[in-house]
Chains A and B, each alone.
Chain A
């Protein structure tokens, strides 16, 4: 691959949209080409600047205006969660809008008793609900990680003595998923390992715990979040994020390959 061709592929490469063969050819070329390396660096800097600087948060009160404009909720005579007849508790205004979205969904979850018309109450459905709850709660306040570290060699041993299994902590930084750390958490009362990754501004929670049966990867969408889960080799893995399904599936595939739990 020469420079001219490489430069036409640089965007697709950074966006993770280039097929494997071209990706390898591109990387092989760019690692030996100072011009392309410099362009890559500049483009990466530009992209992260955009992500840091360009997001306009919705003004406070817009959400309330929108809910009010939808009219009264049919059949509702009692105040919403938090004891207010409409709108959100004052504490919600102190969160950034990204966290507010998570908090909004979580409060709705609790207010409607988790009975989403989208999901049944099968055992899997209940675990799915708990995993999403877990994800949302982890993003509020200070509960994202117990051990903050981008180094798998720090995070993995941290779980020793805290769990009776050793979670794999893959390094997926080459694919754009940076490790943010790990935490000990609970799903349906059993302890689980939670590994937190970040892609751009999205948080991806990977929860795993011992599980005897095997199952193929399954994708669900709920409340605007994507969940993928599967079980193999004595463990079950749940991946949850507001990241789009395509990239989340990419993440899940990488995890499966790394843990040797790929069935593809």
Chain B
């Protein structure tokens, strides 16, 4: 039902979450143009479905719509960026590094970090984005992604481990002797 009050409420409650919506979309689908299109699509859907919003966390409500749009988009595309099973065998932790890892990681620049994060499977990327960039709690992430809290925890833990390994690999390749 179109009404001024409804429109104003939508703009006050939902539009301010655009930064979160775009950032999530960008990390899920990777290409900026696709992310932009999907965010617009999500906002239209959110607006049309605004009667279905019954109060509570408006950010999560919007991000659920953004997320659905992104995953539908990914499913429609050829295999290129589908969820990839992370090969645990090839990446078991080795002996502690000679140089403290924290020191190496400090050297990571913006590009290396983004490249490394982009290499992760999409569900790992998503866990990191929602936890680190949106500051969601495990329970909030569980509700948003429809996964049990235990899965969220292990996904996040593995995501961080993988990110760390990829980043350290990149950094030690680039390190001068």
- Name A's B-contacting residues (CB within 8 A): 11-12, 15, 17, 35, 38-39, 41-47, 49-59, 62-63, 65-67, 69-70, 73-76, 97-98, 100-101, 104-105, 108, 112, 116-118, 199-202, 221, 223-224, 243-247
User: Hey, which chain B residues are within 8 Å of A56, CB to CB?
Assistant: 22-23, 26-27, 32, 35
Q: Indicate whether A200 sits within 8 Å of B18 (C-beta atoms), given known contacts A17-B138, A56-B26.
A: no
Cα-based distance from A244 to B39 in the complex (angstroms): 22
Out of A17, A59, A70, A117, name the residue touching B47 (CB < 8 Å). A70
Q: Is the CB of A116 within 8 A of B12?
A: yes
User: 0/1 per residue, B94-116, Cβ < 8 Å to A?
Assistant: 00100011100110111001100
Q: Is the CB of A74 within 8 A of B17?
A: no
Size category of the binding interface on chain B: 35 or more
User: Hey, which chain A residues are within 8 Å of B164, CB to CB?
Assistant: 42-43, 46
Q: Indicate whether A46 sits within 8 Å of B105 (C-beta atoms), given known contacts A243-B135, A246-B139.
A: yes
Q: Is the CB of A65 within 8 A of B101?
A: no
Cα-based distance from A17 to B154 in the complex (angstroms): 13
Q: Is the CB of A117 within 8 A of B114?
A: no
User: 0/1 per residue, B28-68, Cβ < 8 Å to A?
Assistant: 00001001100110011001000000001111000000000
Q: Indicate whether A41 sits within 8 Å of B102 (C-beta atoms), given known contacts A15-B131, A17-B138, A66-B43.
A: yes
Q: Is the CB of B18 within 8 A of A101?
A: yes
B163 at the interface (CB under 8 A from A): yes
Selected A-B contacts with CB under 8 Å, 21 pairs: A12-B153, A17-B138, A17-B153, A38-B102, A42-B164, A44-B102, A46-B105, A47-B160, A53-B110, A54-B117, A54-B128, A54-B132, A55-B19, A57-B23, A66-B43, A67-B11, A97-B19, A112-B12, A116-B12, A223-B13, A246-B137
Q: Is the CB of B23 within 8 A of A55?
A: yes
- Name B's A-contacting residues (CB within 8 A): 2-5, 7-13, 15-19, 21-23, 26-27, 32, 35-36, 39-40, 43-44, 47, 56-59, 96, 100-102, 105-106, 108-110, 113-114, 117, 128-129, 131-133, 135-140, 153, 156-157, 160, 163-164, 167
Q: Is the CB of B135 within 8 A of A11?
A: no
User: Hey, which chain B residues are within 8 Å of A44, CB to CB?
Assistant: 102
Cα-based distance from A12 to B150 in the complex (angstroms): 11
Q: Is the CB of B36 within 8 A of A59?
A: yes
Most buried by B among A45, A51, A223: A45
Q: Is the CB of A224 within 8 A of B59?
A: yes
